[in-house]
């Protein structure tokens, strides 16, 4: 091929630079899986499932996976994320500096999803217990069990009124509903055997209704000084004295106790449960990405004015509402979740897509390198 005269080549390149559509800002989530205590063998499966489902979501969600507590210590590391996913983290999952960063992120309106063992971590921060909803008490041996489902939330809208699962039935040290958590999945205790028989042993502190999955919008870390919830979720004198008790947090949080096995993570119904929760978190109006003029100090990825219209065009499942929601605005709509995206054929397609994405990304970065 004959070389183009330099002038023509540069003109073409500069034209190309202008023709390249602006990169669309994607919502961005952190998948955090550091374990200081027990480590679930299903963590790698969980991570790859979430990464895959995020990349094929409409619109796609950007993921960052971390197992390094020191990431939380980098200034402004967390502010880029619309939501943090704590997947079966355990024990002292963060340094004091990292824990402060997490608390400040939540106070600034960031989203939080706790999955399975996420309730068995950071026991020495009462605000973490309030964020998750309760700390872990015990579980009987993994079992087949029937769950009762409230389908009013994007995380459960695809389920039937009851859901048969093979998973661990967690029990908690306190009652999450006392912190305003709205239950979407509860356990039918008659559907499985728990060798722990006495009422006291069976963690009745969690309430007569056995909670499994719940959500809350707004007031993530607030506490009532006159109402003790127990189970390590009430602020300690030391936290109050040091100003680290935590307060506010107008964003959204979701917790599900399910997700012990690889089989659960490969189950379509469970995958939609997780991604329904993620989609709902990402639509929080408190995020910088949700509004062109989000409040000062808001966290989240950059605002993308075209995302809202794209979401609407694809058809959203609608806002949720109901008693108990009144004090906290539940508005916005979940990211549309297409079932076909997680079918086997979808997986094959996605691999192809990823390859072409890589090629496109390479082309774009080469172009950018030249443009800049």
Ligand X SMILES: *[C@@H]1O[C@H](CO)[C@@H](O)[C@H](O)[C@H]1NC(C)=O
Provide the minimum distance between the beta carbon of 38 and ligand X in the complex, in angstroms, as a whole number. 28
Provide the minimum distance between the beta carbon of 79 and ligand X in the complex, in angstroms, as a whole number. 20
Burial class, 276, CB count within 10 angstroms (exposed 0-12 / middle 13-18 / buried 19+) = buried
Which residues bind to ligand X, rule: CB under 6 A?
Answer: 150, 152, 159-160, 163, 182, 269, 291-293, 322-325
Task: Identify which of residues 55 and 146 has a Cβ nearer to ligand X in the complex.
Answer: 146
Provide the minimum distance between the beta carbon of 78 and ligand X in the complex, in angstroms, as a whole number. 24
Dihedral sign, Cα of residue 353, residue 354, residue 356, residue 360 = positive
Provide the minimum distance between the beta carbon of 33 and ligand X in the complex, in angstroms, as a whole number. 26
- Concatenate the DSSP letters of all residues of 75-133 into one string: TTSGGG-SEEEEES-BBS-S-HHHHHHHHHHHHTT-EEEEEGGGGSB-TT-HHHHHHHS
Task: Identify which of residues 269 and 364 has a Cβ nearer to ligand X in the complex.
Answer: 269
Provide the minimum distance between the beta carbon of 270 and ligand X in the complex, in angstroms, as a whole number. 9
Provide the minimum distance between the beta carbon of 342 and ligand X in the complex, in angstroms, as a whole number. 13
Using CA atoms, how far residue 327 sits from 161, 218, 257, in Å, is 26, 9, 26
Task: Identify which of residues 269 and 319 has a Cβ nearer to ligand X in the complex.
Answer: 269
Alpha-helix residue ranges (DSSP H) falling in the chain: 6-19, 43-55, 96-107, 126-132, 237-242, 262-266, 268-282, 305-314, 344-371
Task: Identify which of residues 91 and 324 has a Cβ nearer to ligand X in the complex.
Answer: 324
Q: Nearest to ligand X by Cβ — which residue?
A: 322
Task: Identify which of residues 126 and 182 has a Cβ nearer to ligand X in the complex.
Answer: 182
Q: State the greatest distance between any 2 C-alpha atoms of the chain, in Å, as a whole number.
A: 87
Report the b/e string of 179-194 with b at 16+ CB within 10 A. Answer: bbbbbbbbbebeeeeb
Task: Identify which of residues 343 and 365 has a Cβ nearer to ligand X in the complex.
Answer: 343
């Amino acid at each position: 091929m004959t070389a183009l005269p330099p002038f023509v080549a540069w003109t073409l390149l500069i034209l190309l630079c202008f023709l390249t559509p602006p990169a669309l800002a994607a919502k961005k989530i952190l998948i955090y899986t550091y374990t200081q205590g027990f480590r679930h063998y299903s963590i790698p499966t969980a991570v790859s499932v979430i990464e895959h489902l995020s990349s094929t979501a409409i619109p796609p969600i950007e993921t960052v996976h971390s197992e390094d507590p020191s990431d939380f210590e980098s200034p402004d590391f967390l502010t880029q994320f619309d939501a943090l996913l704590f997947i079966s983290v355990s024990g002292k999952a963060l340094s004091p500096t990292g824990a402060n960063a997490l608390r400040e992120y939540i106070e600034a309106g960031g989203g939080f999803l706790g999955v399975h063992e996420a309730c068995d971590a950071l026991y020495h921060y009462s605000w973490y217990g309030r964020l998750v909803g309760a700390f872990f008490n015990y579980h009987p041996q993994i079992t087949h069990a029937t769950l009762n489902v409230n389908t009013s939330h994007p995380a459960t809208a695809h389920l039937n009124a009851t859901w048969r699962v093979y998973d661990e039935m967690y029990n908690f040290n306190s009652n999450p509903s006392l912190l305003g958590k709205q239950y979407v999945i509860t356990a039918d205790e008659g559907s499985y055997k728990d060798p722990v028989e006495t009422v006291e042993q069976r963690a009745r502190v969690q309430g007569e209704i056995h909670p499994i999955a719940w959500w809350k919008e707004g007031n993530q870390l607030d506490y009532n000084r006159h109402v003790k919830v127990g189970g390590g979720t009430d602020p300690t004198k030391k936290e109050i004295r040091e100003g680290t008790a935590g307060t506010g947090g107008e964003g959204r949080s979701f917790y599900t106790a399910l997700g012990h096995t690889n089989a659960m993570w490969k189950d379509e119904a469970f995958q939609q449960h997780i991604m329904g929760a993620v989609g709902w978190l990402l639509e929080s109006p408190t995020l910088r990405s949700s509004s062109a003029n989000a409040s000062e100090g808001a966290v989240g990825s950059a605002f993308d004015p075209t995302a809202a219209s794209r979401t609407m065009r694809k058809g959203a499942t609608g806002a949720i509402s109901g008693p108990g929601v009144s004090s906290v605005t539940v508005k916005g709509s979940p990211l549309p979740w297409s079932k076909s995206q997680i079918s086997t054929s979808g997986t094959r397609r996605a691999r192809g897509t990823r390859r072409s994405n890589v090629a496109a990304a390479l082309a774009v970065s080469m172009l950018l390198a030249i443009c800049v």
